[in-house]
A = this chain, B = another copy of it.
């Protein structure tokens, strides 16, 4: 998350409670104000913490918001509903639910926007948010293979590329639907989307289209 000079033994140790308070206050401020009107001074006040304490731990607004938002996605889990399609529908719905939280949508898109000009930030987003949730795709595939719904992957390279493609498609579509189109991710949409995704993936050969 953030670190200080390695293994300082002397001096007063940093308050562990402050970290949690700051991240919670950040999410609260995102709800109330949104990203662009969120100020670090306000976050510090909400957290009952001095501005210096905040700056001692995070380099700036972007890094802070990434950490605050990333925690939200840890709530995601792959439900076991008996079929791959049902499992996917479940996790897509969860994802959409999180994305409707004001603290998630306002913060996430803003840091993605900032990350277009800040390689370190983009890496932080990927590590904290994207890669951390790729576990869901891997878990889903493993479970489907155990059920016999999917064949084992012979080529590890192709398998990794497919995971990335799936993640781009799932995350991208849900984010676009929610934030750009501004339409609800309801059961019907989830069903339609999942059908297209799974059918598309099932047809390995580029076939007759």
Contact = CB atoms under 8 A, between A and B. Distances in A.
A196 B181 contact: no
Nearest to A149: B209
Contact of A181 (B167, B181, B192): B167
A110 interface: yes
Copies of this protein, total: 4
A207 interface: yes
Interface size grouping (class) on chain A: 35 or more
Contacts of A175: 172, 175-176
Interface string A138-179: 000000000001000000000001101101110111111101
A125 B115 CA distance: 21
B195 A200 contact: yes
B209 A34 contact: no
Nearest to A161: B192
A105 interface: yes
Interface of A: 34-36, 83-85, 102, 105-106, 108-110, 112-117, 122, 125-126, 130, 149, 161-162, 164-165, 167-169, 171-177, 179-183, 188-189, 191-193, 195-203, 206-207, 209
